[in-house]
Amino acid sequence: MPETQDSRKSVISSRNTELDSKMGGGLPTGSLTLVEGTSGAGKSVLTQQIVKGSLEDGCQVSMFTTENNVKSLVTQMRSIDLEILDFLLLRKLRVYPVELSRLGDEAPFTLLSAMRQEEKRDLLVVDSFSSAITHSDETHILGFFEECKRLCATGITIIITLHPEIVDGELISAIRSMCDANLRLRTEQDGQRLVKTLEVAKIRGAASGTGAIVGFDVEPGWGMRIIPISKARG
């Protein structure tokens, strides 16, 4: 049986102690989180880490993905030691591959309708919303985020990933202001290597202060590992 709103945990945890500490203890339940980053910056890995942690905490999760089908998602997450097959079989995790680019201007409304059908879940994830943005006007995009906020008001936590470089400056500022949490991922060139960083831009209601910028590695068979920023940048 799904947990009632009253029995839900106060935060959505990644079950990665170092990562949670950088996010002020975890994502507050009922929050709308925007995860930004260019291709390869680690948006999906970060989101998958949070999904696995929340499942281990007893949450029920639905993912809408433009990046994977069910098989490729299972394989990808297993490669970084995030096993989800049992959760899928038990229907604790539902995965819905979507092709938002084919829906054109209707993409935000169609996706929102599908998300509303999952209103009994604890966590909803959209990875990613980028293709909907490129095919929709500003009014529809802002309307989508406004409706997501209404869903969050019922106790559901929502995570949405996107590529910020495809969004107009004023629009991305408006989206950020509507979200309760904003995590920004970057890949920077440092000599001969690429360095991944995570900036916790804001988390409203977090148990501790945010604003941290941390480095991280993604290691096969290990997953996401926080490393000191000085080490990350050499």
Q: What is the CATH number of the domain that holds 123?
A: 3.40.50.300
Are the CB atoms for 55 and 86 separated by under 8 Å?
Answer: no
Q: Report how far apart, in Å, the C-alpha atoms of 158 and of each of 62, 112, 131, 191 are.
A: 10, 12, 18, 37
Q: Which amino acid is at 52?
A: K
pLDDT, position 1: 36
Are the CB atoms for 88 and 70 separated by under 8 Å?
Answer: yes
Number of domains in the chain: 1
Are the CB atoms for 37 and 49 separated by under 8 Å?
Answer: no
Which residue, 31, 45, 17, is CA-closest to 145? 31
Query: What's the alpha-carbon Rg for the chain, to the nearest Å?
Result: 17
Tokens describing residue 221: 């068979």
Cα distance between residue 218 and residue 214, in whole Å = 13
Mean pLDDT of the chain: 87
Domain extent at residue 208 = 5-232
Higher pLDDT, 215 or 192: 215
pLDDT, position 136: 84
Q: pTM for the whole thing? A: 0.90
pLDDT, position 103: 82
pLDDT digits (tens, 9 = 90+) for 53-79: 999 999 999 999 998 899 999 999 999
Whether the per-residue pLDDT at 156 is higher than 60: the answer is: yes
Cα distance between residue 114 and residue 91, in whole Å = 17
CA dihedral 192, 225, 48, 91 (to 10 degrees): 150
Whether the per-residue pLDDT at 36 is higher than 70: the answer is: yes
Whether the per-residue pLDDT at 107 is higher than 50: the answer is: yes
Most confident of 24-28, 140-144, 189-193: 140-144
Q: Which amino acid is at 199?
A: E
- The percentage of the chain sitting over the pLDDT mark of 70, rounded to a whole number, equals 88
pLDDT, position 8: 54
